Amino acid sequence: MAIAQWAQDVYSLSVTPDLINRKVLTGAEGASYFGKAYAFVPLGIHASTVMAVAVDRCAATKYAAGRLRQDAGSMKNAPDLFLRLMSEHAARNLWIRTSSFMAKDFVAESAAKLTDLAGGGNALEDETSYLFAHYTLGGGDEDSWLLEGDESPPEVYLAFRVSDIQKVVRQLQSGSVVHVQAEQDGRDTLRKRVRGSTVVLDAVLHSVSMTIGECSRLEVGQIIALPDVKMNKLDLCAETVNGSLPISQGELGAWKGQRALKLHAPVPEDVIKEIAEI
């Protein structure tokens, strides 16, 4: 997940994000959703579906402490302005990670910047609907966070334009349908090719067993006895890669002046079933 990858990037720790809350609000209503967290919005025109990101004071404190190589406890009384400035880089990283997750073809320009939500003008339009999501980073391995005293785990926020989310959902659904259809088309093509392939049928009057030595001594004009052979009982077999497959039985006769085979038995059900399942 993008948030887990972001946490690995900025904290070098493995965490499991947990969704605390999500709401659909207008831009005017959503401005207060972030509470006291440090919220940022991308500047200018961009192709991201992520319209805003925010990190709470705990997340900003831990990030600042890591960048300055200090203990997080020493940053507890740091001014809000300092933490907000320090967290901007982490917030931009979060925006890029989640944007790339939402759209595989998303490419953030190297100059793309974020700005404070309060100074972002109409980044969140008053009458437009947005999906706001609130996550905590408390899960993960037992060493993911070394909490000090009653310290709470870091929390992050994301905001998406509802119309963009709906578009992504439609694309996923469409891709799923196309994938299923492609599989079906491929199966239909394979079935057509298999059923249109050639098979050799052999009408066998009798089978004789002999040694290799006896077979090597056969000569032209030699008579081979066929005891108990009946002209009205021939086996019809198909030669396959797995050997001879019995198809039916019949008798040798004539039709329109030519030798022909008249079937006496239907094709076995297991053969029909195997062909039907191709």
Kindly list the structural domains of the chain, giving each domain's residue range(s) and its CATH number in brackets, ordered by start.
Answer: 2-171 (3.40.1550.10), 190-276 (2.30.330.10)
Quick one: what percent of the chain has pLDDT higher than 90? 14
- Please give the pLDDT value at position 176: 54
pLDDT tens-digit series, residues 183-217: 566 666 656 665 655 556 667 777 777 788 888 88
102-133 burial: b if 16+ Cβ within 10 Å, else e? bbeebebeeebebeebeebeebbeeebbbbbb
Note whether 95 and 50 are within 8 A (CB). yes
SS3 149: coil
Is the pLDDT at 148 greater than 50, yes or no?
no
C-alpha span between 114 and 88 (Å, rounded): 7
Task: Enumerate the β-bridge partners of residue 104.
Answer: none
Output 144 or 52, whichever has higher pLDDT: 52
241-274 burial: b if 16+ Cβ within 10 Å, else e? eeeeeebbbbeeeeeeeeeebeeeeeeeeeeeee
pTM for the predicted model, two decimal places:
0.58
C-alpha span between 239 and 201 (Å, rounded): 7
Pick from 134, 132, 128, 133: nearest CA to 163: 128
For residue 31, which phi and psi values (nearest 5 degrees)? Answer: -60, -30
Mean pLDDT score of the chain: 78
C-alpha span between 64 and 58 (Å, rounded): 10
Tokens of 120: 């972002």
- Residue 134: Cβ-neighbour burial (10 angstroms; 0-12, 13-18, 19+): buried
Output 228 or 23, whichever has higher pLDDT: 23
C-alpha span between 162 and 164 (Å, rounded): 5
